[in-house]
Amino acid sequence: MKIAVVGATGLVGTKMLEILAERNFPLTELILVASPKSVGQKIHFKGKDYEVVSMETAILLKPQIALFSAGGSTSLEWAPKFAEVGTTVIDNSSAWRMDADKPLVVPEVNAHILKATDKIIANPNCSTIQMVVVLNPLHRQYSIKRVVVSTYQSVTGTGKKAVDQLMNERNGIKGEMAYRYPIDLNLIPQIDVFLDNGYTKEEMKMVMETKKIMGDASIQVTATAVRVPVMGGHSESVNIEFNSPFELSKVIDLLENTEGVVVQDIISLQEYPMPINAHNKDAVFVGRIRKDDTQANTMNAWIVSDNLRKGAATNAVQIAEYLVQNQLV
Instruction: Give residue-wise pLDDT tens across range 98-147.
Output: 999 999 999 999 999 999 999 999 999 999 999 999 999 999 999 999 99
Could you tell me the pLDDT band of residue 183, with boundaries at 50, 70 and 90? very high
Residue 234: the pLDDT is: 98
Residue 285: the pLDDT is: 98
CATH superfamily of 2-123+312-325: NAD(P)-binding Rossmann-like Domain (3.40.50.720)
Region 184-192: what's the mean pLDDT? Answer: 98
Could you tell me the pLDDT band of residue 82, with boundaries at 50, 70 and 90? very high
The CA distances from residue 264 to 126, 154, 213, 274, in Å, are 20, 20, 25, 10
Q: Does domain 127-307 have CATH number 3.30.360.10?
A: yes
DSSP string computed for 222-262? EEEEEE-S-SS-EEEEEEEEESS---HHHHHHHHHTSTTEE
Residue 81: the pLDDT is: 98
Residue 130: the pLDDT is: 98
Within the chain, all domains assigned CATH 3.40.50.720 are found at 2-123+312-325
**Catalytic residue positions, numbered:** 126, 234
Residue 288: the pLDDT is: 98
Residue 136: the pLDDT is: 98
Residue 4's nearest CA partner among 43, 42, 31, 44 is: 31
Residue 162's nearest CA partner among 149, 180, 146, 145 is: 180
Instruction: Give residue-wise pLDDT tens across range 291-319.
Output: 999 999 999 999 999 999 999 999 999 99
Within the chain, all domains assigned CATH 3.30.360.10 are found at 127-307
